[in-house]
A and B are shown apart, each in its own frame.
Chain A
Amino acid sequence: MKDINYALMLIKANKLEGAKDLLEELLQRDPGNQDILYNLGMCYTELDEPEKAVKTLSECIRYYPHYSNAYVALGFAYSRLADEEKAKDHFLRALEIEPSNPYALRNLGGLYGKEKDYEKAIQCLEKSFSINPDDQQTAHGLGYSYLHIGKIDQADKYFKIAISLNESTEIAGMAKDFRREIAEIDLKAKGFRPDAMFYCLSALQFFKDKTTEQVRQVAFEIGMRGRQGLDINNPDKKYTLDSMGGSFTGLQLVSYMYVGFKIIDPKLNIGLDLSEEYKQALGLFSKERPHGNTIH
Chain B
Amino acid sequence: MEIQFIDPVPAVLEEVKNATGKGIEFIAQENLATYAAIKMARKDMPSHLIYYKKEHDEIINHLIVHECGHLFRIFKCPENQRLMPYSNQQIKYNALKTIENEIMALTNILSEDQIVHIIDLWYNGLIRQVTNLPPDIMIEKWIYDQFPTLRPLQLKSLKKQHSESVAGLTETVHRMTPHTILFASNVMNYAFFKIIGLHMGHNFIREYSSTSYLGRGKELASITEKDYTDSHEGDNIMIDRWAYYLNISDWFKWHGFEDVPPDYGQAG
Contacts and interface: CB of A to CB of B under 8 A. Distances in A.
Does B bind A? yes
Interface of A: 1-3, 5-6, 9-10, 12-15, 17-19, 21-22
Contacts, number: 43
Contact of B237 (A6, A13, A14): A6
A15 to B, nearest CB: 5
A186 to B, nearest CB: 31
A17 B259 CA distance: 14
A3 B83 contact: no
Contacts of B114: none
B233 A2 contact: yes
A220 B236 CA distance: 44
A19 B81 CA distance: 7
A236 B82 CA distance: 53
Contacts of B261: none
A3 B81 CA distance: 12
B80 interface: yes
A18 B78 contact: yes
B255 interface: yes
B140 interface: no
A19 B254 CA distance: 14
A160 to B, nearest CB: 20
A261 B145 CA distance: 70
Interface string B115-128: 00000000000000
B256 interface: yes
Contacts of A5: 237, 240
Interface residues of B, number: 15
A9 B237 contact: yes
A14 B233 CA distance: 16
B233 A3 contact: yes
Given A3-B233, A18-B82, 19 more contacts: A1-B229, A2-B233, A3-B234, A5-B240, A6-B81, A6-B233, A6-B236, A9-B83, A9-B236, A9-B254, A13-B253, A14-B255, A14-B256, A15-B81, A15-B256, A18-B80, A18-B81, A18-B256, A21-B78
Contact of A3 (B229, B253, B254, B256): B229
> Which 7 A/B pairs are nearest by Cβ-Cβ distance?
A18-B80, A18-B81, A13-B254, A6-B233, A17-B80, A15-B256, A1-B229
Contacts of A2: 233
B83 A13 contact: yes
Contacts of A13: 83, 253-256
A14 B78 CA distance: 16
Looking at A6, A9, A10, A21, the one whose CB has the most chain B CB atoms below 10 A away is A6
B229 A15 contact: no
A9 B256 contact: no
Contacts of B254: 9, 12-13
Nearest to B232: A6
Interface string B217-252: 000000000000100011011001000000000000
Nearest to A16: B80
Contacts of A14: 255-256
Residue with the greatest number of chain A CB neighbours at <10 A, chosen from B81, B237, B240? B81
Interface in B53-107: 78, 80-83
Contacts of B237: 3, 5-6, 9
B229 A21 contact: no
Nearest to B254: A13
A13 B240 CA distance: 13
Given A3-B233, A6-B233, A9-B240, A21 B83 contact: no
A13 B234 CA distance: 16
Contacts of A22: 81
